[in-house]
């Protein structure tokens, strides 16, 4: 069954504790936390203090996505703040294998994210060392963007590569995920759906999460 990871970036930050309670009471599996530094991406979101407080309030897996330069400088701090999964960008890491070793040595699951312009074959030499790949289906930095259709082909190619090598690597997708395209994403090979506005801006977020979880691979 597909995992659903609501993206806190779309939450109402004036009601953050209430939003965490709603997620706890929902069928969501993970809580997706986007960290932006204004350098790797043209936006700034939230950082360690917010994640530390959210981690205390949620009973979901804290899935932290670092859209930052030099993530190795902060890996230990995010672990202490409560990250269960830590994902870094292939485009931001000069020594990606070392970054992955660092994450896993602290007991977290390690993910690698790739931007829309990055080819799937750039992951071949690291796939055997990671727990998940995060396919960015929009250009990172802002919520409420339109899904890039070519992402479906990338997901299919990645699914083929993972299955061909008999690897236990999850595929996560983030950006423009809706109830209208979720089925196609799952059929293409996605294991984890990250959804921001689709969940938090819906009239009934819990029902929307339940609907996203209902999509099974054909």
Number of C-alpha atoms within 13 angstroms, CB side, residue 63? Answer: 29
Domain assignments of the chain as residue spans, ordered by start = 3-213
Q: Is 174 a catalytic residue?
A: yes
Binning the chain into helix, strand and coil, the percentages to the nearest 5 are: 40, 20, 40
Torsion region of 120: left, alpha or beta (phi above 0 gives left; psi -120 to 50 gives alpha): alpha
Total residue length of the chain: 218
pTM of the model: 0.96
- Supply the angle between the helices 16-25 and 205-213 in degrees, to the nearest 10: 40
Residue 218: predicted pLDDT: 76
Mean pLDDT for back-to-back runs of 10 residues, the chain (218 residues): 96 96 98 95 94 97 97 97 98 96 98 95 95 92 75 96 97 96 97 97 98 91
Among 29, 37, 131, 174, the one annotated catalytic:
174
| CATH architecture of the domain covering 3-213 | Alpha-Beta Barrel (3.20)
Among 34, 37, 63, 131, the one annotated catalytic:
34
Q: Which candidate, 85, 77, 63, places its Cα nearest to that of 196? A: 63
Q: Is 180 a catalytic residue?
A: no
Instruction: Give the integer Cα–Cα distance in Å for 165 and 159.
Output: 10
Residue 142: predicted pLDDT: 63
Instruction: Give the integer Cα–Cα distance in Å for 74 and 54.
Output: 18
Residue 96: predicted pLDDT: 96
Q: Are 10 and 46 in contact (CB under 8 A)?
A: no
Residue 145: predicted pLDDT: 65
Residue 147: predicted pLDDT: 86
């Amino acid at each position: 069954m597909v995992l659903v990871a609501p993206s806190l970036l779309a939450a109402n930050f004036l009601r953050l504790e209430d939003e965490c309670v709603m997620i706890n009471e929902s069928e969501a599996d993970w809580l997706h936390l986007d960290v932006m530094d204004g350098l790797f991406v043209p936006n700034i979101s939230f950082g360690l203090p917010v994640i530390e407080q959210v981690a205390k309030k949620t009973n979901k897996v804290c899935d932290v996505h670092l859209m930052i330069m030099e993530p190795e400088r902060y890996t230990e701090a995010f672990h202490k703040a409560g990250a269960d999964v830590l994902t870094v960008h292939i485009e931001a890491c000069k020594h990606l294998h070392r970054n992955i070793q660092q994450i896993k040595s602290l007991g977290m699951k390690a993910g690698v994210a790739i931007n829309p312009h990055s080819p799937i074959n750039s992951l071949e030499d690291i796939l055997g060392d990671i727990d998940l790949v995060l396919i960015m289906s929009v250009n990172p930095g802002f919520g409420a963007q339109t899904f890039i259709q070519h992402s479906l082909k990338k997901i299919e190619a990645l699914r083929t590569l993972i299955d061909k090598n008999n690897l236990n690597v999850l595929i996560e997708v983030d950006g423009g995920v809706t109830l209208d395209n979720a089925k196609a994403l799952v059929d293409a090979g996605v294991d984890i759906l990250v959804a921001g506005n689709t969940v938090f801006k819906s009239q009934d977020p819990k029902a929307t999460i339940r609907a996203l979880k209902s999509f099974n691979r054909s």
